[in-house]
Amino acid sequence: MYTGKKITRVDAYDKVTGRTKYTDDLCDKGAYTAKILHASIAHGKVLSIDTSRAEKIPGVVRIFTCFDVTEKHYYPTAGHPWSADPDHQDVADRLVLTENVRFYGDDIAAVVAEDETAASQALRAISVEYEPYPFVLDVQEAMKEDAPQIHEAYPGNLLKHTEIQKGNYEEAIKEPGLTKVEGWYETPAVQHCHIENFICFAQMEGDRITVTSSTQIPHIVRRVVGQALGLEWGKIRVIKPYIGGGFGNKQDVLYEPLCAWLCLQLGGHLVKLDMAREETFVCSRVRHSIRSHIISWVRPDGTYAARRLEAFSDQGAYASHGHSIAAKGAGAFAQLYPCENVKVDAYTVFTNKPAAGAMRGYGIPQAMWAVECHTQDVAAKMGIDPIAFRRKNLMPKGYTDPFSKNELYYDTFHQCLDKAMAEIGYEQKFSAYQNQTGDIRRGIGAAVFWYNTAVWPISLETSSCRMVLNQDGSLQVQLGETEIGQGADTAFSQMTADVLGVPVSQVHVISCQDTDVTPFGTGAYASRQTYTAGFAIRKTGLLLKERILTYAQELTRMPSYNLDIIDGKIVRITDGRILMTLGELSTQALYSMADSQHLTAETTSQIKSNAYSFGCTIAEVEVDIPMCTVRLLNIVNAHDAGTLINPALAEAQVHGGMSMGFGFGMSERMIFDEKTGRTLNNNLLDYKLSTFMDHPRLKSVFIENPEPTSAFGTKALGEPPACSVAPAIRNAVLHAVNVPVNEAPLNPHRLFQRFTEAGLL
């Protein structure tokens, strides 16, 4: 068995030696360079664009403005599966170039030149006349009657509102003896900061256009490019090479439609569009800033009588993934701590800021910040140990969600808490750090999280797989699920090897997707990869194995039920005799004069199940009150991700997620100029990304409860590690100084304000 083992990544050698080819490596040097002119106002209309000076610059091929977009094909950008039902389709609100400016950085023109220097010079030479409109940057201000209207189709700037009601909240709060605990909690917009900025190039081949892109979702890009350009989808080919990180940002169709459109306007000439870091910050996608208001009514025994949530999600200027982020957080609120009486209102609202989309955790890091900060506040007000309070109220074993049909099959939360607490020495430190004085204080805090695996039943969940037996007995495997740096291809190799009974070294996963040949799959998102692909791998592998053994029956004169494939050999199971190698069989099958066969299999699995993924974070901090700084001393993440396909990759996933959680909780936030709407820190100098120097030793522990609904017992682990880190750090700071900080991040500016208000300074 290869699943469950720490085998080396299949792409490790090529990546560490630099042989791996990314998008830019594949683009011919003769490509034209495209650069985008971004709006320099937050809201308004483009009245005119003067390109006369720019057109005279040597090397400029052509300049296109928003007024050249005569066929206005509005398209959606979210990397969601398509639906034939208009009510379940993403909002189509984008054009390749627009005259209606909705944020500082909107796309109003593009320069195509022979090289980057000429393109950059041309951008600076273009003059634009605007009709500026009032703009709004605050999510709740945008909901007011007198707020600027950003999209005509959405009065009050409200993209969508979700309401959840269980029981009778209004009646439940009348119960005698209840304690009311109320708080506002907020997270900022942050950027993904993947190493490889977005890049794509496009060229014509006959009457078809090929787009090569650094994307998580090649098959979805194909569809959206077709919608944006008004082309038949079959005339579009999308190639996805290796990708230098995405974290959800590349789960949006960012600039592939514009690049393809420019290529078409230039007669099919190769055009490359490579975003700069400053553009990536502002003009791709950001994490939704969410402001949450929570009220809890608690009985004297520490159980919830009623709970209330209002969440205001800042969508920015365009819909992108839209309301699904706030809706997922609302679902987590209702399920993580089940209560008979719950009332939830989640709002997603347009503002004149960069568009918000998917980012690792998909709304749950924001939701867990609010929920787990509030949980700590409730425990403090009730005078109950925070771990004991959680244990009393957390989702119990056997809980089943009526919508998703997800079930908690194990005592997961207690197992994760027990293991994490033992690993970090929680009880001893919690007691030792009580009631401290002095300028330097320590604290320890915990936070739990809730997560789903994949997207069923909200939208389509499907995976397709193709396997081909080569002459030497090795296998080629193709899937629509994409390798984006997380190690998916290695996990796929391990699963394939176990199903077919071949050495993992004989499994060759085709990492780079090509929509002309790769089986359909919706890509990398929602922590779906091993769970959903596992179904297709097992189904396809079993079919191919059946075909191989059926052919072996003729060669060995043995019935197929007496045969098996073990370590790449055809074995008679009645006595264990090796009859032939898989390579010998395959060569005979391909070149037989009597019965030549190409042994291959391809299947599709539609997945109509989902799975809970749970865990917790415990963080230990040191707070320097006069300096208003927090130093992270120790941290542990505990996860129940089902059966681990590759423990080394699982640990790496957790470490990466923890690192993202540090930045989210302690330093990262995008800052916007209230006078202009411009992003002020759109670079890696001014945007305070956490670094190696901010990290303590990272520790991850696992509870391997096999998921009953899964083909291999596995479930989500890609996004969960980022979900509970920030509130755990916040709760550790609360334990140290007894000052709640409800707005992330806990940077010196925020701490100075709160410490001053609390009288510590």
pLDDT recorded at residue 580? 97
Q: Residue 7: is its pLDDT beyond 90?
A: yes
Report the chain's C-alpha Rg in angstroms.
Answer: 27
pLDDT recorded at residue 84? 85
| Separation CA 516–CA 707 (nearest Å) | 34
| Separation CA 121–CA 292 (nearest Å) | 45
Assign 3-class secondary structure to 184-233. EEEECCCCCCCCCCCEEEEEEECCEEEEEECCCCHHHHHHHHHHHHCCCH
pLDDT tens digits for 201-232? 999 999 999 999 999 999 999 999 999 999 99
The dihedrals phi and psi of 505, each to the nearest 5 degrees, come to -65, -15
The dihedrals phi and psi of 484, each to the nearest 5 degrees, come to -125, 25
Mean pLDDT value across residues 616-625:
98
pLDDT tens digits for 358-414? 999 999 999 999 999 999 999 999 999 999 999 999 999 999 999 999 999 999 999
| Separation CA 183–CA 296 (nearest Å) | 9
Q: Which two tokens stand for residue 730?
A: 């916040």
Q: Please state whether the predicted TM-score (pTM) of the whole model is above 0.85.
A: yes
pLDDT tens digits for 71-105? 999 999 999 999 888 888 999 999 999 999 999 99
Mean pLDDT value across residues 444-471:
96
Mean pLDDT value across residues 18-35:
97
pLDDT recorded at residue 83? 87
pLDDT tens digits for 262-316? 999 999 999 999 999 999 999 999 999 999 999 999 999 999 999 999 999 999 9
pLDDT tens digits for 660-707? 999 999 999 999 999 999 999 999 999 999 988 889 999 999 999 999
Q: Which two tokens stand for residue 758?
A: 């609390």
pLDDT recorded at residue 582? 97
Secondary structure percentages of the chain, helix, strand, coil, to 5: 30, 25, 40
Q: How many residues does the chain have?
A: 761
CA distances from 652 to 486, 559, 635, 659 (A): 8, 45, 15, 11
Mean pLDDT value across residues 619-633:
98
pLDDT above 70 covers what percent of the chain? 100
pLDDT recorded at residue 451? 96
Mean pLDDT value across residues 13-32:
96
pLDDT recorded at residue 19? 96
| Separation CA 288–CA 605 (nearest Å) | 32
Checking DSSP bridges between strand 289-298 and strand 304-316, what pairing results, if any? antiparallel
- CB of 610 closer than 8 Å to CB of 404: yes
- N- to C-terminal Cα distance for the chain? 60
- CB of 296 closer than 8 Å to CB of 304: yes
